[in-house]
Every structure is written in C-alpha cells, then in structure tokens.
Amino acid sequence: MNTNQRYWEYYGLQETFDSLYKGSQEGKTFNRLYELVISENNILLAYRTIKSNKGSKTAGVDFHTIDKFKEMNKNDFVSYIRDALKDYKPKAVKRVLIPKPNGDLRPLGIPTLTDRIIQQMIKQVIEPICEAKFFKHSYGFRPQRSTHHAISKRSTHHAISRCVYIINHSKTHYAVDIDIKGFFDNVNHSLLIKQLWNPLLDGLVVFHNPFADTPFHIDEFFHPVIAHTTVDGKQKSF
C-alpha cells in the first residue's frame, strides 16, 4: 500500500474512490460530485497531500505557505475552504522560470496554497473516474503505474506490456522520444471540458472557462490528470 492509499484509508475514502472507478468502468455517468468534493474528509485529505509535498513551503502571489493553515483548527480550516469555493475565482499565478538541462528556461506557474488545495480536492474525485477510461497502455504519471511497467515482461496491469508485445510480434526495435512543446500553454480548453464532461456530467465540477485562450497554470499534482484527459483516445495517431 502506497502513501496515497494510506491517506485514503485514514480519511475513509478508499471505498468511495473504488466505487467511482468501478462505476466509470461500467459506463456510469456521475452527478452530485460537488458534495463529495467539499466533504470534510476530502478537504482534509487534500490538505494532507499538499502539506506532504515540499512545495507547500513555496508561497503564491498571496505570500502564504502551508503554515497559514497549520495555525487553524480543523473546523475553521474546512469552513475557510468551503467559503473560498462560494463564487470561487482562483488567484493570479506566480510566474517563475526554472532552468532546464539544455540551458533553456521552463516557465512554471505557482498557484496559491488555497488554489492548490482546491485543485487537489477536485483531482481526488475526478481521477478515479478518468483513470477507469484512460488508454490501458498509457503508463506515465498514473497511479500504480510507471514507465517500468511499459517495458517489463510482466506488467502489473496486463500479462505482457504493450511495448514487449510490439517488439515480439512486429520485430520493431526502435524507441521514439516525442515531446509536445509547451503542452500546458496550448491545451484546447474546449476539448478538455468536453472530455471531462462526458464521464462526469456534473456542472459544479466541470464548468465553463471564461479564459479559454489562456495557458493552464495548475499544481503538479493535477498535471497528469489534465494531460491524460486531453490526449486520451489520440494515442493511436502515433
């Protein structure tokens, strides 16, 4: 059992997330997810997940770190987050440039801690639903998967990994490194909302984005869900 699963069990959400995953596998659509998003245990789980990351000491534009929330008691913190979601508008994102190995600079957007916690709350609810529908041979940055599973002879999820199968049957021995330049700066928001809307059907979680032409600036925990949701179903194009 990994750290995330221990957290899920501690806050009594393991069965809930398992149920969402199973329902999604069976083709179920979902509503009333907002009640789960703002549930006390989901809020506390999001807080604990964000707190465990070293980035919790990095402030956004409001100059607040995780220490702000450590000073609150549980009830005050839960009320604060729920109040923040009323007529919610995320704060501006702190923009920094991170050096890359090739000498270039990678732009990084740092949301406020409040926004990061809210993003994590939503991610915890939609991830099991989306995971059940993602391409089965996609291994990067997914729960219980890694790039090692893509090349191992005995995959955790399938008897033989897709990579090994292709090598054995087509005698293809080339690996191609593909990078989508500026991925999060060029995500098609309309497509993403459509991709999320199909399995979720919850207007309080999937909403119209008035900034449809602006880049995504989200916390690192949410990156994989957004990336896989955007490209899901397009892998065969490669």
Summarised one tens digit per residue, pLDDT across range 70-101 is 999 999 999 999 999 998 888 998 988 889 88
Average pLDDT over residues 191-198: 64
Residue 77 in contact with residue 46, Cβ under 8 Å?
no
Q: Residue 177 corresponds to which tokens in the numbers above?
A: 């490194």
Q: Tell the residue number behind the tokens 């995959």, with chain if given.
A: 155
Residue 87 in contact with residue 108, Cβ under 8 Å?
no
Burial class of 210 by CB neighbour count within 10 A (0 to 12, 13 to 18, 19+): exposed
pLDDT tier for residue 211 given thresholds of 50, 70 and 90: very low
Q: What is the DSSP letter of 69?
A: H
- 121: alpha, beta or left? (left if phi > 0; alpha if psi -120 to 50): alpha
Q: What is the DSSP letter of 31?
A: -
Q: Are 106 and 121 within one domain?
A: yes
Q: Are 173 and 203 within one domain?
A: no
Average pLDDT over residues 217-234: 53
Q: Which residue has the higher pLDDT, 52 or 170?
A: 52
Burial class of 63 by CB neighbour count within 10 A (0 to 12, 13 to 18, 19+): exposed
Q: Are 93 and 156 within one domain?
A: no
Average pLDDT over residues 49-67: 93
CA distance 71 to 113: 14
Q: Are 72 and 173 within one domain?
A: no
Q: Are 95 and 171 within one domain?
A: no
pLDDT at 60: 93
**pLDDT tens readout for residues 113-166:** 999 999 999 889 988 988 887 777 676 667 777 767 766 655 555 555 667 777
Q: Are 190 and 209 within one domain?
A: yes
Q: Are 55 and 79 within one domain?
A: yes
Share of the chain above pLDDT 70, in %: 62
- In this structure, the number of other CB atoms found within 10 A of the CB of residue 110 comes to 19
CA distance 103 to 52: 30
User: Which of the listed ranges 30-34, 51-55, 127-131, 197-201 does the model predict with the highest average pLDDT?
Assistant: 51-55
Q: Are 101 and 154 within one domain?
A: no
Mean per-residue pLDDT of the chain: 77
pLDDT tier for residue 177 given thresholds of 50, 70 and 90: confident
pLDDT at 74: 96
pLDDT tier for residue 28 given thresholds of 50, 70 and 90: confident
Please tell me the total count of domains within the chain.
2
Q: Are 77 and 168 within one domain?
A: no
C-alpha distances out from residue 189 to 95, 138, 210, Å: 20, 22, 10
- Which residue segment(s) compose the domain that 153 sits in? 136-177
Q: Are 190 and 123 within one domain?
A: yes
- In this structure, the number of other CB atoms found within 10 A of the CB of residue 189 comes to 17
Q: Are 19 and 61 within one domain?
A: yes
Q: Are 78 and 21 within one domain?
A: yes
pLDDT tier for residue 226 given thresholds of 50, 70 and 90: low
